[in-house]
Amino acid sequence: MRTAAAPCAEIRVIHLARAQTRRARLEAQLDRLGLSAAGWGGVDGRDPACAARLAALPDRGPWGALDAHAKGCLLSHLDALAAFLDGPAGHLCVLEDDALIADDLPLWLGDLSWWPPGADLVKIERWRDPRLILVMDRPGRVHRGRQIRRLRSRHSGSAGYLVTRDAARRILAHRPLDLPADHLLFNPAVSPLARGLRIHQVAPALVEQTDDPAAPPPPPRRPRPWRQALRRGAAELTVLAALPRLAAGRAALVRIPWASRAAAPDAPLS
């Protein structure tokens, strides 16, 4: 085990008790890097004991239906934020238990002098869809070979992000809770909460989700109802609001890579 200084950011992991393979894999990564999580926990959409909490959330929202898995994931993130606020840490790093983490994550968590002024959340994850292109401000800052830039568009996934205490309070106070966790936090097209948060992105990313061989295969994709398709399409058109920034050169279209080690300080983003 590598010894590292105690991180400035507390780590909490979204984890279901039945997913022991995932926990073992992530614990091995954390241990190798000299990190440990302050808490492991999650709300299981399959657990009858969680039924009342799941039923209290809406079944549909502006992004479509919320199934038990999406509700459980959302509640898991909210529980992690609440537990963080019960302690003294100034920042929280939320990881999901299928995360693949970069070797230099301890350096980022152990010294938060890089934190962008006024930022509420910093997304350190890359969503594994090569088609996904983000709108990010330019220029950005460089810290330890990775760029930090203001995020201006949707970025899927909630497997890795950092949040301040003030932002955690705002997230917990928000209603309605009618979106999956990643859309609630990182999709300003449909989330009033996300529109009110200052969100930055680290690139290359420090985290990405892994393929989990122990997980059951996803159910067959059902045809998307036309109303839902129209709502999502209309929401995606809100990216047009970024056109003036793009035209003025104050933002750029970016594909986010992931890197296990820091890139060269001057490495460009594609």
Across the chain, where does the E strand assignment appear?
A: 9-14, 39-41, 60-61, 64-65, 91-96, 99-101, 121-123, 125-126, 134-137, 141-143, 146-150, 160-164, 199-203, 207-209, 251-254
> Three-state SS across 77-96?
HHHHHHHHHCCCCCEEEEEE
pLDDT tens readout for residues 39-50: 999 999 999 999
pLDDT at res. 19 = 95
The answer to whether residue 259 sits within a structural domain is: no
**pLDDT for 141:** 92
Residue 4 is assigned to a structural domain of this protein:
no
Taking the model in full, what pTM does it have? 0.86
Asked if the structure places residue 269 within a domain, the reply is no
The pLDDT, as a whole number, for residue 225 is 64
Domain assignment present for residue 264? The answer is no
pLDDT for position 269: 56
For residue 91, is it within any domain? yes
pLDDT of residue 45: 95
pLDDT score recorded for residue 248 = 80
Query: 56-84: b or e for each residue (b if 16 or more CB lie within 10 Å)?
Result: ebeeebbbbebebebbbbbbbbbbbbebb
- Contact assessment for residue 231 and residue 237, using Cβ atoms and an 8 Å cutoff: no
Token pair for 31: 């241990």
Q: At what angle do helices 68-85 and 165-173 cross, to 10 degrees?
A: 140
Please report the pLDDT score of residue 196 as a whole number. Answer: 97
- In tens digits, the chain (270 residues) has pLDDT values of 444 445 689 999 999 999 999 999 999 999 999 999 999 999 999 999 999 999 999 999 998 999 999 999 999 999 999 999 999 999 999 999 999 999 999 999 999 999 999 999 999 999 988 888 889 898 889 999 999 999 999 899 999 999 999 999 999 999 999 999 999 999 998 999 999 999 999 999 999 998 654 444 444 455 556 555 555 555 555 566 777 777 787 788 889 999 999 866 545 555
Contact status, residue 261 vs residue 102, Cβ threshold 8 Å? yes
Question: Is 181 a member of any domain?
Answer: yes
Q: What pLDDT is stored for residue 231 in this prediction?
A: 52
Taking Cα atoms as reference points, which of 204, 206, 2 lies closest to residue 104?
206
Would you call 191 exposed, middle or buried from its count of C-beta atoms within 10 A (0-12, 13-18, 19+)?
buried
Query: Is 270 domain-assigned?
Result: no
> Which pLDDT value is given to residue 244?
78
- CATH code of residue 174: 3.90.550.40
Owning domain of residue 247: 9-212+224-254
Question: Parallel, antiparallel, or unpaired for β 121-123 and 160-164?
Answer: antiparallel
What is the predicted pLDDT for the residue at 247?
A: 76
Please tell me the total count of domains within the chain: 1
Residue 47 lies in a domain: yes
